Structure 1
Amino acid sequence: MDKLSVAGLFIAIFAVYIGFTLDGGHISALFELPAFIIVFGGTLGAVMLQSSMMQFTHAISLLKWVFSPPKYDIDRGISEIVDWATKARESGYLALEDTALEIEDSYTQKGLNLLVDGVDLENFRVVLELDLDIYREHNLRSANVFEAMGGYSPTIGILGAVLGLIHAMGNLAEPELLGQGIATAFIATIYGVGFANLLYLPIANKIRVIIHQQTMYREMICEGLVSIANGENPHAIENKLSAFRLDR
């Protein structure tokens, strides 16, 4: 569980609640179903319209990363790479075949299998870097789905406000309906701006941070495996990869 994400969401919602109620506002006044349907439904529909099915569903699957991000232990990764380098120098690349079967990370497993198969050094790096670039781009496109929601939401909120005012203007002779229409107008604007800046954009940026961490970890794996393929000394490999400890 990412405690920082949980704390951030709680503080954001709590700050809005406290700020509103300190001036005598009632939190129930912020709950307006028609405004919610217009803003949330309109935003969701617009994003679905611009996205492919694969991109949209993958974006939804990445939501869990916000509160439960994948963990990557840099120190452990470096230690494992050094062990693989030592084993390869002592017994050859085929000694890593059983190790590849035990690895859960698909990228690392692919790299070890390429090493065992004796792929030439140039193609070895090209394959790993291409795999990394495609993986990063695929995930970044999914993060862009939430960024797009953050862009559409305030505009849809304005649309909801205009619709609310139209409804209000049609009921000038009935104060109760007039008040309801005006409330929908203002609350739709709040929903549009609030959802964008308290949820959608922070979620998009959080996912990007996690993608960056994943990419750096996989770049370390790539560099380590290429170094092994190049026959470098395990101690020299460890010194080279220690630079990745700065990115945490």
Structure 2
Amino acid sequence: MDIATIIGIVVGLIFVISGILVNGELTIYFSVASILIVVGGTISATFVAYPLPKVLEAMKIASKAFSNKETEPGIIISRVIGLANTARKEGLLALEEAAEEIEDTFLQKGVMLIVDGTDPELVRNLLETELAFIEERHKDGQGIFEAMGTFSPAFGMIGTLIGLINMLRTLDDPSTIGPSMAVALITTFYGSLLANLIFLPMANKLKLKSREEILRKEIMVEGLLSIQAGENPRIIEEKLKAFLPPKVRVQLQQKQEGVEA
């Protein structure tokens, strides 16, 4: 589990609530009408803007913001090098048996394409096409959360207008001006809080997760094509390390040295 997402939301709420309690009471910031307008309006607008299957898929994609189960690029490089050593010693056909033990479906598909003797250019095209569609699906999920981050402040303003209208209708009674104005501003507060603490940060986290996944799969594609070309495993390893930041390369090198020792 990616604890940073949960910590960010919880700590953000704690600071906001603490700021409220310094000079006020928490109960006055609770308004059922404001919640209905902001939350209900945001959800409704999202369903208007996107088809139902897309919205439901986005909710599944959102779980990735709380997940940290992705395989490290260094582990992927090690697996590819293992496949390269197998292919070098026993031939490409020996990879068919190794493919059965691969859990990643993308890598497994690439290995089977190599085993079947598919043209290298076609292998690249097939895998890169799948990469493009994976990235497109990720963008759909990110776009939905970005849209919700746009809708919630807008419905906060709508709630504010409703509150102001109610206030103006009862302007002859000064005792109602304060409560009506408070409800109007609370609605804007809810909309801004949801957008800037949940929806927009979630969209940004999903973008980051998407880039990381695409990077891992690009490493797989380059490694598989290098294996198919019959390149030396050490050359393949150096080529794949180029995808990693210098700090990660050093850590990977230290791990390898530890294993060899």
Alignment partners' CA distance in 1, 2:191 and 2:163: 14
Report what 1:152 is aligned to: 151
Deviation per CA, 1:4-34, whole angstroms, max 9, x where unpaired? 22221122111111112112x1112221111
Decide whether the 8 Å contact of 2:5 with 2:65 is kept in 1. yes
Deviation per CA, 1:116-149, whole angstroms, max 9, x where unpaired? 1110111010111110011111111111100011
Report what 2:75 is aligned to: 76
Alignment partners' CA distance in 1, 2:171 and 2:55: 43
- 3-state SS in 1 of match to 2:240: helix
Decide whether the 8 Å contact of 1:69 with 1:210 is kept in 2. no
Instruction: Say which is worse superposed, 4-13 or 137-146, in terms of deviation.
Output: 4-13
Percent identity (aligned): 36
Alignment partners' CA distance in 2, 1:52 and 1:101: 37
Deviation per CA, 1:139-195, whole angstroms, max 9, x where unpaired? 111111000111111111100100111122223355665444322211100011111
Alignment partners' CA distance in 1, 2:70 and 2:123: 26
Q: TM-score, normalised by structure 1?
A: 0.94
Deviation per CA, 1:200-246, whole angstroms, max 9, x where unpaired? 00000001100010000000011100111111110100011112231
Report what 2:187 is aligned to: 188
Report what 1:13 is aligned to: 13
Letter in 1 for 2:13: I
**Matched residues, number:** 247
Show the 5 A alignment for 1:69-218: 69-174=68-173, 177-218=176-217
Show the 5 A alignment for 1:21-100: 21-23=21-23, 25-100=24-99
Alignment partners' CA distance in 2, 1:102 and 1:176: 73
Letter in 2 for 1:101: E
Q: Which runs of 5+ in 2 are unaligned?
A: 249-261
Alignment partners' CA distance in 2, 1:194 and 1:127: 43
Letter in 1 for 2:243: F
Alignment partners' CA distance in 1, 2:89 and 2:11: 55
Letter in 1 for 2:227: I
- 3-state SS in 2 of match to 1:63: helix
What is the deviation of 1:53? Answer: 2.3
Instruction: Say which is worse superposed, 218-227 or 10-19, in terms of deviation.
Output: 10-19
Alignment partners' CA distance in 1, 2:130 and 2:227: 19
Decide whether the 8 Å contact of 2:62 with 2:141 is kept in 1. no
Report what 2:255 is aligned to: none
Letter in 2 for 1:183: A
Q: CA RMSD in A?
A: 1.6
Letter in 2 for 1:75: G
Report what 2:223 is aligned to: 224
Q: TM-score, normalised by structure 2?
A: 0.89
Report what 1:242 is aligned to: 241
Report what 1:4 is aligned to: 4
Letter in 2 for 1:15: F
Runs of 4+ in 1 over 6 A off after TM superposition: none
Deviation per CA, 1:23-61, whole angstroms, max 9, x where unpaired? 2x1112221111011011111111111112222111101
Decide whether the 8 Å contact of 1:94 with 1:116 is kept in 2. yes
Alignment partners' CA distance in 2, 1:176 and 1:183: 12
Alignment partners' CA distance in 2, 1:96 and 1:175: 81
Alignment partners' CA distance in 1, 2:75 and 2:153: 44
